Chain A
């Protein structure tokens, strides 16, 4: 257990439905990241936050995806009008940024999304 939690762990939904995932990072971490991982591949970066500010979004994050971190603590990732191609493991990670220092990212267990 890395201290990063994600909910739910598994989600099965029908195409066209909206889904929302939650990530609770390690409490003192000011950076939070979302990645997506498909079978047999490494994780791909989606977006990240420093405190409540969303600093970068990948081109993978289409208009149907939105992420928030309203109070700089937990984060949510919403997918609207899900498509079968959205089926993947969604991973959240957190880290602590201190000027001049580098720290590793701690990953949660992931949310596995299946779109039928």
Chain B
């Protein structure tokens, strides 16, 4: 079963615009991660935010986490055509020996950035 739900399922924007994707999850987490996947390829880790953090930045990416609402958002600023991909949130609820365990992914947001 999938923990997270991304919203929207698909997003189409013009280059230069900002893209915002949201993720909701169901259970308590240790951390939440965002991954990117180009069509038919493997996943690339973008950013990790721990449960005690509220906001994190990496380059043009900004991630927020609201544990009271069990939700997160990923903002990509000044989007480029090369940002076209599927974006997934994944939650790590911890477990044996702490640290990372299995990731539970949502169904993803398919982002299309048009030149």
Q: A residues engaging B (CB < 8 A)?
A: 2, 4, 31, 33, 35, 40-45, 48, 50, 55-56, 58, 89, 91, 93, 95, 97-110, 112
The secondary structure that dominates the B interface is loop
Q: A33-B102, A91-B42 are in contact. Are A102 and B107 (CB under 8 A)?
A: no
Interface string of B32-65 (1 = CB under 8 A from A): 0101000011111100101000000000000000
Total contacting residues, chain B, CB less than 8 A: 31
Q: Report yes or no: A105 in contact with B41, Cβ–Cβ below 8 A.
A: no
The secondary structure that dominates the A interface is loop
Q: Report yes or no: A97 in contact with B99, Cβ–Cβ below 8 A.
A: yes
Separation in Å of the A54 CB from the closest CB of chain B?
12
- Of A103, A105, A112, chain B has the most CB atoms within 10 Å of the CB of A105
Q: Report yes or no: A42 in contact with B106, Cβ–Cβ below 8 A.
A: yes
Separation in Å of the B10 CB from the closest CB of chain A?
11
Q: A40-B107, A44-B105 are in contact. Are A107 and B99 (CB under 8 A)?
A: no
Q: Report yes or no: B104 in contact with A100, Cβ–Cβ below 8 A.
A: no
Q: A107-B43, A112-B40 are in contact. Are A45 and B100 (CB under 8 A)?
A: no
